Structure 1
Amino acid sequence: MNSVHIPNELNELLKENHVQVQLSVPQLVEKILSRNEGTLTSAGAIRVSTGKYTGRSPQDKFIVSEESTKDKIAWSANQPISEEKFNNLYNKVVDYLKQKNEIYVFKGFAGADKKSQLPIQVINEYAWHNLFVHQLFIRPNEDELLAHDPGFTVISAPNFKADPAVDGTNSETFIIISFERRTVLIGGTEYAGEMKKSIFSVMNYLLPENNILSMHCSANVGQEGDVALFFGLSGTGKTTLSADPNRRLIGDDEHGWSSNGVFNIEGGCYAKCINLSREKEPQIFDAIRFGTVLENVTLNQESRIADYDDGTLTENTRAAYPIDAIDNIVLPSIAGHPNTIIFLTADAFGVLPPIAKLTKEQAMYHFLSGYTSKLAGTERGITSPQATFSTCFGAPFLPLPATRYAEMLGEKILEHNANVFLVNTGWTGGEYGVGNRMKLMFTRAMVQAALEGELNEVETVKDEIFGLNIPLHIAGVPDEVLQPNKTWSDAAAYEQKAKELAEKFRENFKKFTNVSADIEEKGGPIA
């Protein structure tokens, strides 16, 4: 199949009369309701169900092995699929979409920095998926829309099921990126997060090629122009902690760091909303309004009021809304170089300190390690927290070798003299099932102290197992909470569990064979 065959097939599809291009939010809401794809809530949001896939399906994600890119991709962390399999599946999906009564097209951008912005096009079988991408990506103005030339296209057909024996997939579901074809092909899953994260994976390939660090983090800026980054996997608190009424939000999940500073890759937020309340997270709660997409949230059938405490369908309930639904934001979503960097981990062992200031070596060690616990629902099959190491706090989305991103971050930390902290938003007083989740009010107080520079010169104690420097006092946090060994009722049980986690760190780090010995010796556990 020659290189122009797929674009021509796509052009034929987009010329069909049933194609609805760049519908407004009200138009999409009308389509969703008339097609019974979703329900209108009391807040004016659209509530939808994603079926059996209520989280990402990483085992069904592939990158096409192509001549121009195959030597750059980290195949140890990514699954290859042949060009032939991709092209055949692509043609099947396009033919399938031609038979639909309507399909929906969104044109927009990924990347708020105009110099590295990627024009994207998303083709959807579902109207609610099109509303989702309209809210999550950067929306063009009229002039930008007229000049829009897609640099990458996402095609999403949830009701098209692959045949693994024929199509080379692992199941009926597939998420496939072709960098030569500039296409993402998605089928067999209704979970909208696959579209969002596929474009993030694309940017994680394209940006470093232009010497821009791509990052799985949220970002905000203080009144003095000080910028903070919050790294972490889904569910560790990126969205919650970056939505600070005293700081302006740059973005909640994906960013680039260029020679000019930080910029948001997206134009919206995808917030977890399990146990959401106005009292604890007012900015997120109030952002859920007309045009917001609520995934898998339970509704009262009469009042249509959302019950955010109900995790019957999944713990991974989500709200997708445009970033301007948050009052305190930066637009365009661009800021200067970071002053403070926070690594968020949800430690299911309950042994890491709630906050620790990291040395340069510790910062690199913990970034490469990317330790956290996968929380319930964020991936298919995860029903309780599971300890995992996700390099750069975003391994599922990194096409290039992890050390490429780590080296770029290390260089930027040194160049801009950023302070780095490890923050545990996970368990305290015992492991998962025994201890309790760290109180959000305590985490907020610790993060605020870090952002305001109060922890740069405070008295600390060194953790005897992990070698981390733990502050002895932070306003608004009980002293005993700061030291995890003092929160456990059984000291011997704490030590055993801490050493168990330390050994997991050491075992995981063995895979980094080309990293400076200093990082492992000075950055990792000491016992």
Structure 2
Amino acid sequence: MKTISLQSELTQLIKRDHVHHDLPISSLIEKSLMRGEGKLTATGALSVETGAYTGRSPKDKFIVKESSVADKINWGSVNQPIEKETFANLYKKVIKHLEEQNELFVSQGFAGADPTYRLPLKIINEFAWHQLFARQLFIRPTEDDDQSFENGFTIVSAPTFKADPAVDGTRSEAFVIISFEERIVLIGGTEYAGEMKKSIFSVMNFVLPEQGVLSMHCSANTGQEGDTALFFGLSGTGKTTLSADPHRSLIGDDEHGWSTHGVFNIEGGCYAKCINLSEEKEPQIWNAIRFGSVLENVVLNDKTGQPDYDNTSLTENTRAAYPLEAIPNALTPSIAGHPNTIIFLTADAFGVLPPISKLTKEQAMYHFLSGYTSKLAGTERGVTAPEATFSTCFGAPFLPLPAARYAEMLGQKIDENDVDVFLVNTGWSGGPYGVGKRMNLSHTRAMVQAALHGELRTVETTVDSIFGLHIPLHCPGVPDSVLQPRETWTDKEAYDAKAQELAANFKENFQKFDHVSEEIKAAGPK
């Protein structure tokens, strides 16, 4: 079938009189308030609610099955195909819906801080606050930037348009559809702004490897000596918290590329979980939530307008979106050299993984492919308590290509740059979820600092009998007893049983990676 050109309809749409182009942040906030989309908090942030969808809806995500990409995409439950004609018909309905709105909001931006690899973006929104979110999360053009939109992608977001699954070929009223040939991301039926951010990350996870760049779901920072660190982990494992270090410059908190020159941020802002946020524990995030930032689904005190970060009545997936420059020590531009240290973060609900362990290269590849953590409540619809989960490369929902492609690139870069790799458990200690306690954040920070400063390279280690991990016997600022997970459990037999249970889960999950080397397979639990 002949390719249906849809960009021309977008061009006509954004020329209409009801479209606002590149409004400043203050005007977008004013529009949001006038339209009743949100209200200001006592600190000046815009507070909004996203309705029924308070997290991503991964089962409603599709990629158009097009000849140029069909043989490259790793089709399955994550990358669900949708036919070109089905997409085109739904797209036309969305365009008609947007034409009928009183106002639309449009701006341009980028994904990718490195000019060599940046992707031009055009963002079309039905909500003013969605446009504010996009302006803060994507990279904002300057007067010196090339304003051309050649080979760019367009996000079309229509949250009040509800699909009819029986007619439109979707699973529900909500949909997130990527067309690589038309270079369009079509979003509807959901008010959750994070779908815009993550859909472009999925696009970059296809585009960058094709250019020889490893795309990564990780945060990154750099020290005063130019030493760079990467923090891999799923939502809620501590990427944002641990990378926002007052003594290091923040490169970014969630999405990065690793080229032959070094690391660069894909985004221009941060999207931090703020459940139980406190000024004492996370001052940089706390202070970033001010005028221009967006709070999603955070309950406010009616009398004071103060956010109640401990209130989970709307969702546990409360979020704050703010520009990178809201962090005082953010690196500008957000580009740095090759990493010296990689840290894999996991929130282990079983409570059996050590708080920190040193990984061999083979173990690093094993745990990168496994991507184990606990899926935290609220991150996705229907998740109300932590669940053990394995997300390949710590970002399976956003990987259009086969996992081996990303894993092979990471392994090569670890070798080329002699990178130290650690596994850090920010989850539970002394028992599983519901019995034990969450790891002490100050202890986790101390362990991470020791890893970044090279203080664990010469420390004596013990090898865990089940997981084969090299556990330090000592770490500055951390009691020795905390480092050995079995010793934190009162019931040692219960620990052994739970550890064997998790080990079995690792083995079962890894069976799908039958193509990897025997050395990598042997690096998992015994």
TM range (shorter): over 0.9
Which residue number in structure 2 is paired with residue 347 of structure 1? Answer: 348
Give the fraction of aligned pairs with identical amino acids, expressed as a percent: 70
Query: Which structure 2 segments of 5+ residues have no match?
Result: none
TM-score, normalised with respect to structure 2:
0.99
Determine the C-alpha separation between the residues in 2 that align with 1:316 and 1:361. Answer: 34
Q: How does 1:5-404 map to 2 (within 5 A)?
A: 5-76=5-76, 77-144=78-145, 146-149=147-150, 151-404=152-405
- Secondary structure (helix, strand or coil) at the match of 2:433 reads coil
Query: Per-residue displacement from partner, 1:401-457 (whole Å, max 9, x unpaired)?
Result: 001000000000000000000000000000001111101101000000000000111
Determine the C-alpha separation between the residues in 2 that align with 1:246 and 1:513. Answer: 42
Shift of 1:144: 2.9
- Secondary structure (helix, strand or coil) at the match of 1:88 reads helix
Determine the C-alpha separation between the residues in 2 that align with 1:187 and 1:517. Answer: 45
Shift of 1:78: 1.2
Contact in 2 for aligned 1:201/1:398 (Cα 8 Å)? yes
Shift of 1:397: 0.2
- Secondary structure (helix, strand or coil) at the match of 2:405 reads helix
Q: Which amino acid aligns with 1:207?
A: L
Query: Per-residue displacement from partner, 1:205-246 (whole Å, max 9, x unpaired)?
Result: 000000000000000000110000000000000000000001
Which residue number in structure 1 is paired with residue 515 of structure 2? Answer: 514
Query: Which structure 1 segments of 5+ residues have no match?
Result: none
Shift of 1:2: 4.9
Contact in 2 for aligned 1:158/1:187 (Cα 8 Å)? yes
- Secondary structure (helix, strand or coil) at the match of 1:142 reads coil
Contact in 2 for aligned 1:350/1:431 (Cα 8 Å)? yes
Determine the C-alpha separation between the residues in 1 that align with 2:402 and 2:328. Answer: 38
- The count of residues paired between Structure 1 and Structure 2 equals 525
- Secondary structure (helix, strand or coil) at the match of 2:145 reads helix
Determine the C-alpha separation between the residues in 2 that align with 1:45 and 1:319. Answer: 9
- Secondary structure (helix, strand or coil) at the match of 1:114 reads coil
Determine the C-alpha separation between the residues in 2 that align with 1:145 and 1:21. Answer: 18
Contact in 1 for aligned 2:5/2:182 (Cα 8 Å)? no
Determine the C-alpha separation between the residues in 1 that align with 2:2 and 2:156. Answer: 20
Determine the C-alpha separation between the residues in 1 that align with 2:3 and 2:108. Answer: 23
Q: Which amino acid aligns with 1:288?
A: I
Q: Which amino acid aligns with 2:141?
A: P
Q: How does 1:400-415 map to 2 (within 5 A)?
A: 400-415=401-416
Query: Per-residue displacement from partner, 1:293-343 (whole Å, max 9, x unpaired)?
Result: 000001011211111111111111000000000000110000000000000
Shift of 1:148: 4.3
Determine the C-alpha separation between the residues in 2 that align with 1:421 and 1:370. Answer: 13
Shift of 1:149: 4.3
Determine the C-alpha separation between the residues in 1 that align with 2:251 and 2:5. Answer: 40
Q: Which amino acid aligns with 2:19?
A: V
Which residue number in structure 2 is paired with residue 486 of structure 1? Answer: 487
Shift of 1:145: 6.6
Determine the C-alpha separation between the residues in 1 that align with 2:305 and 2:336. Answer: 39
**Which aligned runs of 4 or more in structure 1 are off by greater than 2 angstroms?**
1-5, 142-150
TM-score, normalised with respect to structure 1:
0.99
Shift of 1:134: 0.2
Q: Residues 483 and 448 (structure 1 numbering): CA distance in 2 closer, same or farther, change over 3 Å?
A: same
Contact in 2 for aligned 1:354/1:425 (Cα 8 Å)? yes
Contact in 1 for aligned 2:340/2:417 (Cα 8 Å)? yes
Shift of 1:182: 0.3
Q: Residues 30 and 325 (structure 1 numbering): CA distance in 2 closer, same or farther, change over 3 Å?
A: same
Q: Which amino acid aligns with 1:24?
A: P
Determine the C-alpha separation between the residues in 2 that align with 1:112 and 1:365. Answer: 30
- Secondary structure (helix, strand or coil) at the match of 2:136 reads helix
